[in-house]
Amino acid sequence: MYISYIQLANMLNIKKNEIIFLSSDVSLIAYHEIENNSNFDGNIFLNIITEKIGDNGTLILPVYNWGFCKGLPFNYSTTPGKTGYIGNVALKRNDFIRTKHPIYSFVVWGKDKDILYNLNNTNSFGKGTVFQYLIDNQATNIAINVPFNHHYTMCHHVEDYLGVFYRYNKYFKSKYIDEKGCILQRTASMTVRHLELDIGGDASELYNDFLEKGIAYEQQIGSYTISYINIAKSIPIIEYDILYNNAIKQIQINNITAYNIRKDNNMYNIVKNLFSINRSLSGNGNRYTLNYLKENYLGELNIKEYSIKDNPETFDWNTPYEWNINDAYIEDENGNKIVDFKNNNLHILGYSEPVDITIPFSELDKHLYSLENDIDAIPYTTSYYKKRWGFCITHRQREELRKNPDKLYHVVIDSSYNENGSITYGELIINGYEDDEILISTYICHPSMANDNLSGIAAAVAAAKYIYALPERKYTYRIIFIPETIGALIYLKENIEHLKKYTKAGFVLSCIGDDGDYSCVHTPYNNTYTDKIVTHVLKHITDKPKEYSFLERGSDERQFCAPLVNLPVCTLSRTKFGKFKEYHTSNDNLDFVTEIGLGGGLNYIQQCINILENNEYYKIKTVGEPQLGKYGLYPTISQKGSADYTRNLTNIIAYLNGSNSILDIAELLNMHFNSVLNIINKLKENNLIDKCEK
Ligand code: ZN
């Protein structure tokens, strides 16, 4: 059945005022027109579409051209798009305007054309680009006869802002002839794939996911297939796919069977299921938390009790008594509970002493804690080492109560201290074939906050699962779940000589489940093996790494890096403690931590472990350079990027003198560790290198 292009255009599902991003391959349509003694007229085709959209809608067509990456000049007025005939028709029209990026430019009609023209992004895919606009403005992607793999650039946008490690930012500089004909030199950047990584390219599963979830649908018009995608709704699915699939595939390339997060993602569930438990330095909430982990995830977790009676002091610190709390509330004269610990356990000042009194508000006010600059948040406050009692409430509520200073309130805190009790912590040891150990530490003393630090607990569990799944383990992993500060001191008291002798590297996991940037706190001199690994991973996982010096410490790196301890321990975070506004308040809740945030945090840890497990020293066997062609190591087909590949290969060989580790070489050549590792594996297969002891 012959459908004319005019009928086709009229049948497209386009609503008035829509923002349409149109990808098309019209060659088949044009061919059918010729068969039927007609002619495809791109202008008429565009007129029908713009008519349907109307003046309050916007039509965007891609006119990408990659010549700029090869050093060719970009001419705003004359450089054609390489992404379909229709875009080039639009380029010639006065009612369309072209955006300015020399690689990823678009030609735009309608309401928002000036907004898009005024974008001055130098990067190709990330924030501030047209791709971001398409998401923010609920655009629909319509693809006419173009397979998903070939047109859905949104995937690169997501990879770009997530900062996946199999892509890196590359800068291109060339001549740029602007709309006035002025010749300029411009730089544009684009994240490109590490070619030697060979990350899977089949996105059909992702597209099927869109179809299944109703985010995309197809329309069949004659022999033409039209696909419609809700761009904004597709983004979380792409994020999920990238973090839980592609990143994991990458690790499998290096012969490591990764923990399959996508099918067995328990991290968010751990945070959710433990959120309401009241944890502190000690007590039954901590026992519950550790037992929950042991029963559900880590059968080999050893739950230990540190007797307070036997250890009244822990190094220079008095060991606090075990504290438990059953109930706490403030009620008014009518018996209405106006503050109730059962609604949110942040309401109680941690380690409060028991009380049962009736007092006027003016007295009670002295025992209240609130945040003047965040009036709807409940602060997290503790008093571990001085006996007090108190409640934490929103500042809004406190101001309201202050209006009646003489009103009487009944205050009850049903808590207890036990000098015969203990401080509970968890320890999991996963053995490797070497004596050296990796320490992973996280803290269990915070109640009802998701990022600080249920995210650390979830990440430590997921890291343990990953370590268990390694087919071969070089190091022994010592994963500990301890109350912050006193728990670290207790653990040191019991293990310091062993830790000092065997700890090769160590990590404190803190605030590692939000969507913010990746960050770390370095050791005091930023000179340990751990520092070097973390710096490398950060550089490749994000273009905005935040590396904090030891002067900004705050978690258990304080104890592990103290002068007489001196362990190589860095703290890993997404947004570091104290650097997000939800920190230590009731707003650090189950919305603040996300599955994607946690997945990224785990990826950060996995990459550190991957380096630890694979970083070795090798020496080239040949005197002079090896003749690579003999081993089939020169690419036989010259394809895009093959020159880069050969250059990387010969550069790596140039540094294989036995005293540079794989990580050293990756740093020297500014390559991702895995990129170097892959080439090392090829050289190893060809018997061109020897492993050296160092
Ligand atoms: Zn904290």
DSSP 448-504: S-IIIIIHHHHHHHHHHHHHHH-SS-SSEEEEEEE-TTHHHHHHHHHHHHHHHHHEE
Interior angle at CA 275, CA 273 and CA 279, nearest 5 = 115
| Of residues 570, 567, 576, 568, the one with CA closest to residue 522 | 570
Q: What is the pLDDT of residue 632?
A: 73
Q: Are strands 503-509 and 569-573 parallel, antiparallel or unpaired?
A: parallel
Cα–Cα distance between 524 and 554 in angstroms, integer? 13
Cα–Cα distance between 335 and 374 in angstroms, integer? 29
Contact 514, 594 (CB under 8 A): yes
d(CA 395, ligand 1 centre) in Å? 21
d(CA 245, ligand 1 centre) in Å? 31
CA 221 from chain center: how many Å?
Answer: 41
Owner of token pair 């895919």: 125
d(CA 381, ligand 1 centre) in Å? 10
Please report the sign of the dihedral spanned by the C-alpha atoms of residue 472, residue 478, residue 481, residue 484: negative
> 131: left (phi > 0), else alpha (psi -120 to 50), else beta?
alpha
Of 582, 599, 614, which residue is a domain's last? 614
d(CA 461, ligand 1 centre) in Å? 19
Kindly list the distances between the CA atom of residue 363 and the CA atoms of 233, 399, 408, 427, in Å, as whole numbers in the listed order.
Answer: 53, 14, 9, 44
Cα–Cα distance between 420 and 351 in angstroms, integer? 16
The string of DSSP letters for 551-576 reads GG--STHHHHTSTTT---EEEEESSP
Q: What is the pLDDT of residue 202?
A: 60
* Pair (607, 623) in one structural domain: no
Any idea what the CATH number is for the domain that residue 685 is in?
A: 1.10.10
Please indicate, yes or no, if residue 88 is contained in any of the structural domains: yes
* Pair (381, 486) in one structural domain: no
d(CA 163, ligand 1 centre) in Å? 27
d(CA 466, ligand 1 centre) in Å? 26
d(CA 497, ligand 1 centre) in Å? 28
Interior angle at CA 410, CA 406 and CA 414, nearest 5 = 145
Three-state secondary-structure class, residue 185: strand
Three-state secondary-structure class, residue 656: coil
The one-letter amino acid at 560: F
Please indicate, yes or no, if residue 170 is contained in any of the structural domains: no
Cα–Cα distance between 225 and 258 in angstroms, integer? 38
**Verdict on whether the full-model pTM lies above 0.95:** no
* Pair (605, 632) in one structural domain: no
d(CA 280, ligand 1 centre) in Å? 11
Q: Characterize 369-396 residue by residue with b for buried, 16 or more Cβ atoms within 10 angstroms of its Cβ, and e for exposed.
A: bbbeebeebbbbbbebeeeebbbbbbbe
Those residues with Cβ within 8 angstroms of residue 639's Cβ, 6 or more apart along the chain or in another chain = none
Those residues with Cβ within 8 angstroms of residue 581's Cβ, 6 or more apart along the chain or in another chain = 374, 587
Any idea what the CATH number is for the domain that residue 341 is in?
A: 3.50.30.90
Contact 518, 600 (CB under 8 A): yes
* Pair (531, 402) in one structural domain: no
d(CA 487, ligand 1 centre) in Å? 14
Three-state secondary-structure class, residue 658: strand
Q: What is the pLDDT of residue 325?
A: 97
d(CA 344, ligand 1 centre) in Å? 17
d(CA 484, ligand 1 centre) in Å? 8
Three-state secondary-structure class, residue 107: strand
Owner of token pair 């822990």: 314
Residue 73: CA count within 13 A, CB half-sphere = 13
Q: What is the pLDDT of residue 63?
A: 96
Q: What are phi and psi of 609, to 5 degrees?
A: -65, -40
Kindly list the distances between the CA atom of residue 638 and the CA atoms of 634, 643, 645, in Å, as whole numbers in the listed order.
Answer: 10, 8, 11
Q: What is the pLDDT of residue 261?
A: 36
Please report the sign of the dihedral spanned by the C-alpha atoms of residue 267, residue 268, residue 271, residue 273: negative
Please indicate, yes or no, if residue 34 is contained in any of the structural domains: yes
* Pair (120, 94) in one structural domain: yes
d(CA 583, ligand 1 centre) in Å? 8
* Pair (90, 151) in one structural domain: yes
Kindly list the distances between the CA atom of residue 288 and the CA atoms of 25, 278, 329, in Å, as whole numbers in the listed order.
Answer: 60, 9, 23
Contact 494, 427 (CB under 8 A): no
Overall number of domains in the chain:
4
d(CA 453, ligand 1 centre) in Å? 7
The one-letter amino acid at 192: V
Cα–Cα distance between 457 and 442 in angstroms, integer? 6
d(CA 511, ligand 1 centre) in Å? 9
d(CA 555, ligand 1 centre) in Å? 8
* Pair (572, 465) in one structural domain: yes
Strand partners, 172: 188
* Pair (276, 405) in one structural domain: no
Of 548, 579, 614, which residue is a domain's last? 614
> Residue 357's CB: how many other CB atoms inside 10 A?
12
Two tokens at 114? 């000036």
d(CA 355, ligand 1 centre) in Å? 26
| Of residues 688, 457, 685, the one with CA closest to residue 593 | 457
pLDDT in tens, 148-204: 877 788 888 887 776 565 666 678 889 999 999 999 999 898 877 654 444 445 677
Domain of residue 518 covers: 269-317+423-614
Three-state secondary-structure class, residue 470: coil
d(CA 518, ligand 1 centre) in Å? 18
Number of H helices, E strands in the chain: 23, 29
The one-letter amino acid at 195: L
Cα–Cα distance between 231 and 457 in angstroms, integer? 34
Cα–Cα distance between 250 and 198 in angstroms, integer? 8
Q: Please tell me whether the peptide bond between 453 and the residue prior to it is cis, using omega within 30 degrees of 0.
A: yes
Q: What is the pLDDT of residue 65?
A: 95
Q: What are phi and psi of 555, to 5 degrees?
A: -110, -150
Two tokens at 402? 């202050």
Cα–Cα distance between 527 and 212 in angstroms, integer? 51
d(CA 593, ligand 1 centre) in Å? 15
Cα–Cα distance between 153 and 380 in angstroms, integer? 43
* Pair (451, 410) in one structural domain: no
* Pair (406, 513) in one structural domain: no
The string of DSSP letters for 20-32 reads EEEEE--HHHHHH
Of 191, 213, 247, which residue is a domain's last? 247
> Residue 644's CB: how many other CB atoms inside 10 A?
14
d(CA 332, ligand 1 centre) in Å? 32
* Pair (396, 431) in one structural domain: no
- Flag residues of the chain having pLDDT under 50: 195-200, 247-264, 639-641
Please indicate, yes or no, if residue 191 is contained in any of the structural domains: no
Contact 85, 125 (CB under 8 A): no
Side-by-side strand order, sheet with 74-75: 74-75, 167-177, 183-193
d(CA 521, ligand 1 centre) in Å? 15
Please indicate, yes or no, if residue 223 is contained in any of the structural domains: yes
Q: What is the pLDDT of residue 256?
A: 34
* Pair (503, 574) in one structural domain: yes
Contact 110, 84 (CB under 8 A): no
Cα–Cα distance between 324 and 415 in angstroms, integer? 6
Any idea what the CATH number is for the domain that residue 297 is in?
A: 3.40.630.10
Q: H or E element: which one contains 337? A: strand 337-340
